[in-house]
Every structure is written in structure tokens, then in C-alpha cells.
């Protein structure tokens, strides 16, 4: 009956990508018992709220697995994972104290701090880019220089993909005046824009690349960090929260480590199925495609800076990002080292 009520609610709010706005960690607590921690400790767990940047898409499986796999419960948390509706929402919720941790792009961290948000990056999950330039295989755009005079599709106006486009163009001496920009969204349907000649290429996420590859579509693609190297997907909290709750921050990161290691060495399909019992995951029935996406990320951007830098903030990448973002006029940062720290992740990895 409860699942029926939730299904009705989803049908009534089709603009939401999830079964519910909040997922309590009850299922994770039960599963955690099988992992060896006392259930009594879980029942008395410390409340913790975490937020995805948008919905419960498979790209955020490590976040869902922290709850469904019992990893946050093992660290003594009674955790809630909220489905964000854009990074701005996650930032607002962290600033208000309603959310402790969220995942977002490095560009989001730069722009939010430039506006006074005082966010702190405590871990980098994607060292490499989450976005690729996609074109047709028989009419490829193989470089940024080849974009000159062309129409480029982006996910949204003034979003991360348009900002990445600015940075890439600058890297080869071009500006946005040298291209036309069109909003196309972020889904496999963008290929139709290219086939119809409405755009010459698009900048979309890894999920779209994998979906098109799994569908055997004739595409050419390459990551944006070929021209705009920077940390991609970051775990963030507020500096105030980290300063006041260092031990809690380390425990959260231990749960993240446990979840990601589980995914790297476990059965992705089984982990996805387990998470699907707690979260409405779009496209979950396309198991092969979703497993391919997760493996693509694990074997690519998760470890593109080497296993020794897994989940760490790489200073060189942050410095490069700061330089390019400042030059592009996206955000000005006096000292990039104030935006990130490895203090917490190093402690979590050491124990």
C-alpha cells in the first residue's frame, strides 16, 4: 500500500525524477546488519542529510549505495538522501544548515564561493570530466578549433556546459562570438539535433555518451578536459560545518570510501538493484546500459589521476581550473587553496 501511495504521488508530480523527495535510511539500516554493525547502534544513529544535485539518476549510485548498502549506517548515521533539483538548491540547503553534504561540479564551487557561499570541497570523485563533446562519426568535430563557425549544443544557458565551452574556446584563441550556442538539454535525444543539422555537436554528460554507444549510434566523442582540465564531480560542505564537525565529516567520507570500493569490486547490477528498492532510479530497467555507465565512470574519471589520488583533491587540477575560470571571467578566486582540503579524506583513507 505504501508503494502504491508513492507511485500515485510520482504520477501526480511528473516534474520530479524521484518517488519521493526524501529517502530515509531505514532500508540501509536493515541491510547494515548483514555487514556486521549492531542494529541497536543503527537505530540510535545520528541524523544526517545529504543531497544529490539532481534526482536519483544512476550517475549518483555511490550516494544511493551509501544508504542502501548500509555504509552511512555503519558510521553511526541515520541518513537521509534528498533528490536535488539543481545545484543551486543544494547550495541553498547547505547554507541554511538543512543539508550537510552535496555533490556538484568544480565550476559550481568556484562560482558559489565567488558569491560568498564559503563552500569547501572535501573530496573529488570525478578527477576527469563528466562531459563530452559529441558529434556524428561521419561528420566529426574533432577539436575545439573545428567548432569555429559551427553551432554547439549545451545543456542549459549559463550552466556548466556553457562555461566549459567558454574555457575551451579561450584555450585555442576563440570566443563565443566564433560559435553559435543552442540549448539542447542532456539526454540521448540530442543526437536528433545533430542528425537534423540544427547543431554540429553537443556537450553532454557521460550518461548520454554511454546510452548512445549502447544503442550502437555512430558517434564521435571526447572529454572536455582535453582543453579544460579540472576536477569534475566534487563532494562539498560548508566551511562552517567542516570546522564544527570534523569527526562527522571524516565518518561521512569513510562511508563514501566504503560505497565506492563496493562498486569498484562488487556486482554493479546487484548494487543497482538493491538501490532501486529504496530509490526511483530513471532507466533502471535498462540494466546493461546503466552498468556500462557506472563502469565507464569507475574506470575513467574516477581514477584518471591515478589510484593514489582516488577521492583526493589534486592541487594541480584545482590550480589549472582556477586559472582558466578566472581568465574566462566566470569567477574570480584570490587563493584556490581556500576552496578545497584533503585533511578529512586523508584521515578517512588512513583508517
* pLDDT recorded at residue 304: 94
Query: What is the pTM assigned to this prediction?
Result: 0.84
- Left (φ > 0), alpha (ψ -120 to 50) or beta: where does 229 sit? beta
How many residues are listed for the chain in this entry? 351
Q: Region 80-98: what's the mean pLDDT?
A: 93
Confidence of residue 4 (pLDDT cuts 50, 70, 90): very low
Q: Give dist(CA 111, CA 83) in Å, integer.
A: 22
Q: CATH code at 182?
A: 3.40.190.10
Q: Region 58-87: what's the mean pLDDT?
A: 96
Q: Is the dihedral of CA 100, 103, 109, 112 positive or negative?
A: negative
List Cβ neighbours of 110 (8 Å cut-off, separation of 6 or more).
Answer: 321, 322, 325, 330, 331, 333, 339
* Whole-number CA gyration radius for the chain: 20
Same domain as 88, residue 26? yes
List Cβ neighbours of 176 (8 Å cut-off, separation of 6 or more).
Answer: 165, 166, 169
Distance of CA 201 to the CA centre of its chain: 22
Which range (35-39, 60-64, 191-195) has the least confidence?
Answer: 35-39
Confidence of residue 13 (pLDDT cuts 50, 70, 90): very low
Same domain as 243, residue 221? no
Structurally, the chain folds into a number of domains equal to 2
Same domain as 175, residue 146? yes
Same domain as 113, residue 17? yes
Q: Give dist(CA 210, CA 190) in Å, integer.
A: 13
Domain boundary among 208, 226, 244: 226
Same domain as 46, residue 192? no
pLDDT at 22 over 60: no
For β-strands 151-154 and 77-82, DSSP reports them as unpaired
Same domain as 207, residue 237? no
Same domain as 240, residue 101? yes
Same domain as 331, residue 201? no
- Left (φ > 0), alpha (ψ -120 to 50) or beta: where does 116 sit? left
pLDDT at 109 over 80: yes
Cα dihedral 161/166/167/171 (nearest 10): 130
pLDDT tens, position by position, 152-175:
999 988 888 999 999 999 999 999
* pLDDT recorded at residue 159: 85
pLDDT tens, position by position, 320-348:
999 999 988 899 998 999 999 999 999 99
Range of the domain at 136: 131-226
Q: Which three cell numbers stand for residue 187?
A: 539526454
Domain boundary among 211, 226, 241: 226
Say which residue, 25 or 216, is predicted with more confidence: 216
pLDDT tens, position by position, 244-255:
999 999 999 999
Q: Say which DSSP state 218 is in.
A: -
Q: Which residues pair with 105 in a beta bridge?
A: 233
* pLDDT recorded at residue 40: 31
Q: Which three cell numbers stand for residue 174?
A: 576563440
Same domain as 236, residue 115? yes
Which H helix or E strand runs over 29?
helix 26-34
Amino acid at each position: 500500500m505504501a508503494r502504491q501511495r508513492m507511485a500515485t504521488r510520482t504520477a501526480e508530480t511528473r516534474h520530479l525524477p524521484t518517488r519521493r523527495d526524501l529517502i530515509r535510511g531505514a532500508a540501509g539500516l536493515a541491510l547494515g546488519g548483514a555487514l556486521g554493525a549492531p542494529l541497536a547502534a543503527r537505530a540510535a544513529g545520528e541524523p544526517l542529510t545529504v543531497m544529490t544535485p539532481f534526482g536519483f539518476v544512476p550517475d549518483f549510485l555511490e550516494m544511493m549505495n551509501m544508504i542502501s548498502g548500509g555504509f552511512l549506517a555503519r558510521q553511526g548515521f541515520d541518513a537521509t538522501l534528498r533528490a536535488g533539483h539543481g545545484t543551486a538548491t543544494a547550495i541553498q540547503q547547505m547554507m541554511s544548515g538543512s543539508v550537510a553534504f552535496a555533490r556538484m561540479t568544480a565550476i559550481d564551487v568556484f562560482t558559489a564561493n565567488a558569491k560568498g557561499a564559503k563552500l569547501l570541497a572535501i573530496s573529488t570523485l570525478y578527477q576527469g570530466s563528466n562531459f563530452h563533446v559529441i558529434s556524428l562519426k561521419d561528420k566529426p568535430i574533432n577539436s575545439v578549433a573545428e567548432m569555429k563557425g559551427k553551432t554547439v549544443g549545451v545543456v542549459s544557458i549559463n550552466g556548466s556546459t556553457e562555461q566549459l565551452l567558454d574555457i575551451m574556446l579561450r584555450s585555442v584563441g576563440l570566443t563565443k562570438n566564433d560559435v553559435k550556442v543552442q540549448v539542447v538539454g542532456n539526454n540521448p535525444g540530442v543526437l536528433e539535433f545533430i542528425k537534423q543539422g540544427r547543431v554540429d555537436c553537443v556537450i553532454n554528460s557521460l550518461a548520454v555518451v554511454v546510452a548512445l554507444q549502447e544503442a550502437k549510434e555512430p558517434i564521435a566523442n571526447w572529454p572536455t578536459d582535453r582543453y579544460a582540465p579540472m576536477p569534475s564531480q566534487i563532494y562539498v560542505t560548508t566551511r562552517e560545518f567542516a570546522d564544527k564537525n570534523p569527526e562527522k565529516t571524516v565518518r561521512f567520507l569513510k562511508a563514501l570510501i566504503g560505497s565506492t570500493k563496493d562498486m569498484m569490486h562488487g556486482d554493479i547490477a546487484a548494487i543497482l538493484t538493491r538501490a532501486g528498492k529504496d530509490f526511483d532510479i530513471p532507466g533502471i530497467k535498462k540494466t546493461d546500459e546503466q552498468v556500462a555507465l557506472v563502469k565507464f565512470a569507475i574506470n575513467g574519471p574516477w581514477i584518471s589521476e591515478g589510484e593514489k589520488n582516488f577521492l583526493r583533491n589534486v592541487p594541480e587540477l584545482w590550480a589549472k581550473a582556477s586559472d582558466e575560470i578566472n581568465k574566462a571571467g566566470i569567477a574570480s578566486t584570490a587563493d584556490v587553496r581556500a576552496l578545497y582540503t584533503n585533511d578529512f579524506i586523508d584521515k578517512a583513507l588512513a583508517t
